[in-house]
């Protein structure tokens, strides 16, 4: 099964996975340590897990798109 993402959506999700979520994880970890807030590690690990999943899905989507693009030629 092949689901096509609109280019704009793919670009936004890629930006979220490559820049926003990693930066957010670092921000949360740092702020929670500075202020000695609870659950910093758990929240950071959750952000990283979501980012890993999103990155994997986007990677699969990219590979599938490239394969289909080659088959159309």
Q: Would you say residue 1 lies in a domain?
A: no
Collect all residues with Cβ–Cβ distance below 8 Å to 54 and sequence separation of at least 6.
13, 16, 17, 21
Number of domains observed in the structure of the chain: 1
The answer as to whether 44 is a domain residue is: yes
Q: Cα dist. 6→2, 47, 71 in Å?
A: 13, 25, 19
Q: Tell whether the model's pLDDT for residue 16 goes beyond 70.
A: yes
Average pLDDT score, the chain: 93
Give 5 or 15, the one with higher predicted confidence.
15
Is the Cβ–Cβ distance between 17 and 58 less than 8 Å?
yes
Residue 66 has a pLDDT of 87
The whole-model pTM stands at 0.89
Largest CA distance in the chain: 57
Domain enclosing residue 21, as ranges:
7-64
Q: Is the pLDDT of residue 1 over 70?
A: no
pLDDT (0 to 100) of residue 65? 86
């Amino acid at each position: 099964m092949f689901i096509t993402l609109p280019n704009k959506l793919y670009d936004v999700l890629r930006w979220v996975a490559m820049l926003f979520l990693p930066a957010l994880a670092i921000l949360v970890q740092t702020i929670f340590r500075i202020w000695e807030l609870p659950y910093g590690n758990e929240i950071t690990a959750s952000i990283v897990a979501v980012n890993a999943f999103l990155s994997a899905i986007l990677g699969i989507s990219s590979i599938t798109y490239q394969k289909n693009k080659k088959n159309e030629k």
